Structure formats: structure tokens, C-alpha cells
């Protein structure tokens, strides 16, 4: 199988498991733990939450970003200015992610 | 193509003269690139006026972008298309070095395709940028442009005696920044090059730079060295990319690296500001920072000409 095809299939296989979604800032629950994306950084770079928590990322940059789990757990698609992405973390663990458009941007969600 | 020893003499004779403000013309002989001022070139037509137009490089059209840095990227792409369509001799090929769209949306790809269909640029060859592959299933780019590569993204082809290698460095995401080709693509590229004669001019194109321009912003490709090592035996190698929305060039032996302008918006120079985002400039400056690159082929040389929209 070609690498490109395999990559696509891997992502497609992961899709039904996605609990996340891209939305607008107004649709986000302001009470939910939030990661702010600003100046090409995730803040806080490490966020600790309890199992079952929905985490919302909000992009305040003029550039789109993505939130991509390197373990394949979640992938946001392009989140443009003022856009949000949400994902519900069900299981305890340490989840690393990055922006595929700017892969030097990395973050971690610790679920207790 | 037989090896021509006179190339070396000619290469040695070429001198860097000046950088133009409205555009810069580059002469490439035996892999060595020499910038000449365009005003000078206009006063005295270069020898390559006799060269055949080989290809056009267009890059970073970012259809879908609408922020302050350029609220009308379709308009500037249309200006670019009109500029190319006015050329007396249309190029036989167009290489789009990625970021065709801004957000990988179907409507953005559809509009870009529709507009590029009006370009008198011959066959269109593309590579994806990281902005083209953000849809969760990565299907929008491949459903439209994947056929040339059987959905791998990377492929090679020959045109007019020149070997073209299209590489993809935006699909294997690795924290830390630089673009990645991946072991399979590296092995494929080396095998592909091994089958070519060293006298064949080679053009390699990808979206992200294939040389490290600025590591903190990911302007480079981390695993490209084995491919470059294989390219070193060739007499004329031109390595092109987009991604950074400005022109930077480097010559190393017979290998010339050259980046392209965007048709959408400029980006800051390496390390200027928080990150490589859109750079807002005074409206009357924008067209001077957007443009395309053309390559023509004379007997033993490839010549690159950068042209801005104004």
C-alpha cells in the first residue's frame, strides 16, 4: 500500500472515535477548560484535567492552526481565527498534540 | 545530454551583478545561479531570450484567506494569471508548489482549480502544502491532484530532457518543526535519481524548503540529506519550494536552491515577529511582494526569472 493511502486510511479509521468538533467561539462552553492558541503557542502548554472533561481550544491568531494528537486520538482540521475545537478526554493518561501547520507548536493534556 | 566541459568556463565567468527591486532575473548555468538586475536585462536582452520557456512556478495561492494582509487573494491570483497569459510564449508546464488553499475546504479547492484552468501555463503539476492537508481525512487534495502520484503525493516525470522530482514534506507530522519526507519517499527518490544520467538537468520541487533556512520556524526538511547527497553527482540541479512567501536563494556546488513568492500575501523574514504568519504591508506595496517564477531552458542552462505583480 502506498504511504499516502495508508495515512488517509489511518485517519479515516480514527474518525468514528473522534469526540471532537470544530465550532465557533460563541458555541464553546466558557466554563470548559480551555487552551488558548495565540502567538503560535498553546497556552497553557500543559493542561491537567479530570477524566470526562471536555477541553476547548480557541485560536486567537490570524493564522489557522490544527490540534493533532500524535497518537491518532484526535485531529481538528484547520481551526481559523476565533474558531474552536473540542475534545472529551474519557481516560486518564498523558496526551501529546501538535499543530500540523506549524509543528513546532506542541502541547500536552494530562488526564487524571 | 552529453557533458559539455565549456559549461565550467561559462559558469566561472558569470558574476553576480545586482539585485533588482521590481524583480530579479536569475541565470543558471551548470547549476550556478546568477542574479541580474531586471532593468539591466531589459537594456541588454540576456542570451536566454533565445531559450525556450520551460515552466512556470506558482506558489501559495492560499485561496480562502481573507484577512487584512490581503482580503482578495482571488483577485491577486487573477492578476497573476493575467500576467502569465500575456507572455508571448506560454510555458509548457506549471509547477504549483503548494498551499493551493488556505483551509483545505472543498470550495477553496474548487475555486482554485477553476481559476488555474484559465492559466495559459501548459500541464499543471502540483505538490500539497500543509494548508492543503488539514481536512481530517486528507482527501480534498488527493481526490483532485492525487492521480499523478497514485495518491502518494510524490512522483517524477520528464519534460524536454529535464527530469522533475515532485516531493512531499507536509504529510508526516513530527513535533519539533521541520518538514519530513519519510523513509519510503527518501528511498524512492534515491532510486529514481540513480536511474538518471548525471548530465540530465534535474528540477526538484516541494512545498516546504528542502534546505534549512530557519529551523525555529520549521523552514527546512529534516530528513532530506540522503536525497541531496544523491543529487550532488548531477551537473545541474534546481531545487524549488514555496511556503515562506518570499525569495531566498542559495548555491552549493551544482545545486541551486530558490524559494518562490506567494500570489496571496507576504510573510516576515526569518525570525521577525512571533511566527510565520501573514505580513500586512501598505496596500501599494502588496503587488510588489507577490509574483511567480519562470524557468527557461537554453542549450545547457536553466534560467529562472522572478516577476512581481507590479
* Chain B CB within 8 Å of residue A66 CB: yes
Enumerate the β-bridge partners of residue B27.
B34, B303
Of the pLDDT bands very low, low, confident and very high (cuts 50, 70, 90), residue B240 is very high
How confident is the model at residue A31, as a pLDDT? 59
- Give B60 or B24, the one with higher predicted confidence: B60
Q: Does A106 touch chain B (CB under 8 A)?
A: yes
pLDDT of residue B298: 77
- Written in H, E and C, the secondary structure of A38-105 is ECCEEECCEEEECCCEEEEEEECCCCCECCEECCCCCECCCECCCEEEEEEECCCEEEEEECCCCCCC
Q: How confident is the model at residue A20 (pLDDT cuts 50, 70, 90)?
A: low
**Could you tell me the pLDDT band of residue A21, with boundaries at 50, 70 and 90?**
low
- Asked if residue B104 is part of any domain, the answer here is yes
How many whole angstroms separate alpha carbon B81 and alpha carbon B294?
Answer: 13
Overall number of domains in chain B:
1
> Domain containing B256: what range?
25-41+50-308
User: What's the pLDDT at A33?
Assistant: 85
Residue A36, min C-alpha distance to chain B (Å): 15
Residue B79 lies in a domain: yes
Distance between B287 CA and the closest CA of chain A, angstroms: 21
Q: ipTM value, please give it.
A: 0.79
In the predicted structure, residue B73 carries a pLDDT above the cut 50: yes
Q: What percentage of chain A reaches a pLDDT higher than 70? A: 72
How high is the pLDDT of residue B129? Answer: 98
Q: Coil, strand, or helix at residue A34?
A: strand
Query: Tens digit of pLDDT for each residue in B155-202?
Result: 999 999 999 999 999 998 778 789 999 999 999 999 999 999 999 999
Share above pLDDT 90 across residues of chain B, in percent, rounded to a whole number = 75
Taking all residues of chain A, what is their mean pLDDT, rounded to a whole number? 81
Give the residue, B76 or B216, on which the prediction is more confident. Answer: B76
Q: Is residue B87 part of a domain?
A: yes
Task: From residue B93, give the alpha-carbon distance in Å to each of B8, B55, B138, B208.
Answer: 28, 5, 26, 20
- Evaluate whether residue B88 is within a structural domain: yes
Instruction: Write out chain B residues lying below 8 Å of A12, CB-based.
Output: 137
Q: Grid coordinates in use for B44?
A: 541588454
> What are the chain A neighbours of B218 within 8 Å (beta carbons)?
102-104
Of B139, B174, B278, the CB nearest to A8: B139
pLDDT of residue B275: 87
User: What range defines the domain where residue A90 resides?
Assistant: 3-111
Specify the pTM: 0.83
Q: What are phi and psi of B307, to 5 degrees?
A: -125, 130
pLDDT tens, B260-292?
A: 999 999 999 999 988 899 999 999 999 999 999
pLDDT over threshold 90, residue B121:
yes
Residue B203 placed within a domain:
yes
Omega before residue A44 within 30° of 0, cis: yes
A-chain CB neighbours of B216 within 8 Å are 104
Residue among A8, A77, A103 whose CB faces B173 most closely: A103
Asked if residues B14 and B29 have their Cβ atoms less than 8 Å apart, the reply is yes
- In the 3-class helix/strand/coil scheme, how is chain B assigned residue by residue? CCCCCHHHHHHHHCCCCCCCCCCEEEEEECCEEEEEEHHHHHHCCCHHHHCEEEEEEECCCCECCCCCCCCCHHHHHHHHHHHHHCCCCCCCEEEECCCCECCCCHHHHHHHHHHHCCCCCCEEEECCCHHHCCCCCCCHHHHHHCHHHCCCCCEEEEECCEEEEECCCCCCCCCCCCECCCHHHHHHHHHHHHCCCCCCCEEEECCCCCCCCEHHHCECECCCHHHHHHHCCCCCEEEEECCCCCCCEEEECCEEEEECCCCCCCCCCCCCCCCCCCCCCCHHHHCCCCEEEEEEECCCEEEEEEEECC
Q: What's the whole-number mean pLDDT along residues B130-150? A: 95
Would residue B31 count as lying in a domain? Answer: yes
CATH number at residue B301: 3.60.21.10
Q: Please report the pLDDT score of residue A13 as a whole number.
A: 40
% of chain B beyond a pLDDT of 70:
83
pLDDT at B4 over 90: no
Please check whether residue A65 touches B, CB under 8 A.
no
Residue entry with cell 544523491: B230
CATH assignment at residue A85 = 2.60.40.420
Q: Distance between CA atoms of B82 and B287, rounded to whole angstroms?
A: 14
Per the prediction, chain B carries an average pLDDT of 86
Which of B45-54, B85-94, B105-114 shows the lowest per-residue confidence on average (mean pLDDT)? B45-54
Per-residue pLDDT tens digits for B32-57: 444 443 444 444 444 444 578 899 99
Task: Specify the pLDDT at position B274.
Answer: 86
Chosen for mutation from A46, A63, A76, A82 (greatest number of chain B CBs closer than 10 Å) is A63
Residue B259 inside a domain? The answer is yes
- Tell me how close the Cα of A92 comes to any Cα of chain B, in angstroms: 22
The nearest alpha carbon in chain B to A97 belongs to B175
Torsion angles phi and psi, residue B228, rounded to 5? -65, -40
Angle between helices B106-116 and B73-85 (to 10 degrees): 20
The residue that leads in pLDDT, B50 or B4, is: B50
Does residue B17 lie within any of the structural domains? no
Report the SS3 class of residue A35. strand
pLDDT in tens, A42-92: 999 999 999 999 999 999 999 999 999 989 999 999 999 999 999 999 999
CB contact under 8 A, A4 and B217: no
Number of structural domains found in chain A:
1
Q: Supply B95's cell numbers.
A: 509547477
Q: Do A15 and B136 touch (CB under 8 A)?
A: yes
CA–CA distance from B281 to each of B68, B114, B306 (Å)?
9, 28, 20
Nearest-angstrom CA–CA distance, B79 and B144: 24
A70 vs B176: CB contact, 8 Å cut-off?
no
Indicate yes or no: CB of B277 within 8 angstroms of CB of A40.
Answer: yes
**Burial bucket for residue B141 (CB in 10 Å: 0-12, 13-18, 19+):** buried
User: Residue A34: what are its φ and ψ, rounded to 5°?
Assistant: -130, 140
Mean pLDDT is lowest, of A19-23, B27-31, B70-74, for: B27-31
Amino acid at each position: 500500500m502506498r504511504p499516502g493511502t495508508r495515512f488517509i486510511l489511518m485517519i479515516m479509521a480514527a474518525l468514528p472515535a473522534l469526540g471532537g468538533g470544530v465550532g465557533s467561539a460563541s458555541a464553546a462552553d466558557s466554563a470548559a477548560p480551555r487552551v488558548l492558541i495565540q502567538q503560535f503557542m498553546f497556552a497553557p502548554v500543559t493542561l491537567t484535567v479530570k477524566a470526562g472533561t471536555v477541553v476547548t481550544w480557541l485560536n486567537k491568531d490570524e493564522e489557522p492552526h490544527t490540534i493533532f494528537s500524535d497518537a491518532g486520538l484526535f485531529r481538528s482540521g484547520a481551526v481559523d481565527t476565533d474558531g474552536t475545537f473540542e475534545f472529551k478526554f474519557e481516560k486518564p493518561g498523558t496526551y501529546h498534540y501538535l499543530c500540523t501547520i506549524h509543528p513546532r507548536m506542541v502541547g500536552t493534556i494530562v488526564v487524571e | 545530454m552529453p557533458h559539455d566541459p565549456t559549461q565550467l568556463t561559462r559558469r566561472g565567468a558569470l558574476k553576480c551583478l545586482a539585485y533588482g527591486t521590481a524583480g530579479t532575473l536569475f541565470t543558471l548555468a551548470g547549476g550556478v545561479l546568477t542574479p541580474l538586475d531586471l532593468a539591466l536585462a531589459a537594456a541588454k536582452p540576456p542570451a536566454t531570450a533565445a531559450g525556450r520557456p520551460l515552466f512556470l512556478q506558482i506558489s501559495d495561492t492560499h485561496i480562502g484567506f481573507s484577512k487584512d494582509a490581503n482580503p482578495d487573494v482571488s483577485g491577486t491570483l487573477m492578476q497573476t494569471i493575467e500576467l502569465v497569459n500575456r507572455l508571448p510564449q506560454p510555458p509548457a508546464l506549471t509547477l504549483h508548489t503548494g498551499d493551493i488553499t488556505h483551509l483545505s475546504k472543498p470550495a477553496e479547492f474548487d475555486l482554485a482549480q477553476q481559476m488555474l484552468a484559465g492559466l495559459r501555463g501548459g500541464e499543471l503539476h502540483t505538490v500539497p502544502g500543509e494548508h492543503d492537508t488539514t481536512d481530517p481525512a486528507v482527501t480534498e487534495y488527493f481526490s483532485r491532484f492525487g492521480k499523478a502520484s497514485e495518491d502518494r503525493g510524490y512522483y517524477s516525470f520528464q519534460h524536454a530532457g529535464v527530469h522533475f522530482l515532485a516531493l512531499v514534506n507536509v504529510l508526516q507530522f513530527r513535533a519539533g518543526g521541520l518538514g519530513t519526507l519519510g523513509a519510503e519517499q527518501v528511498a524512492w527518490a534515491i532510486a529514481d535519481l540513480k536511474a538518471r544520467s548525471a548530465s540530465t538537468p534535474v528540477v526538484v520541487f516541494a512545498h516546504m524548503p528542502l534546505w534549512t533556512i530557519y529551523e525555529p520556524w520549521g523552514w527546512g526538511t529534516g530528513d532530506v540529506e540522503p536525497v541531496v547527497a544523491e543529487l550532488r553527482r548531477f551537473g545541474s540541479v534546481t531545487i524549488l519550494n514555496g511556503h515562506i512567501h518570499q525569495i531566498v536563494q542559495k548555491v552549493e556546488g551544482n545545486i541551486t536552491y530558490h524559494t518562490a513568492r506567494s500570489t496571496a500575501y507576504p510573510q516576515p523574514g526569518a525570525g521577525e515577529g512571533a511566527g510565520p504568519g501573514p505580513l500586512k504591508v501598505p496596500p501599494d506595496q502588496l503587488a510588489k511582494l507577490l509574483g511567480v517564477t519562470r524557468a527557461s531552458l537554453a542549450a545547457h542552462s536553466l534560467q529562472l526569472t522572478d516577476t512581481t505583480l507590479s
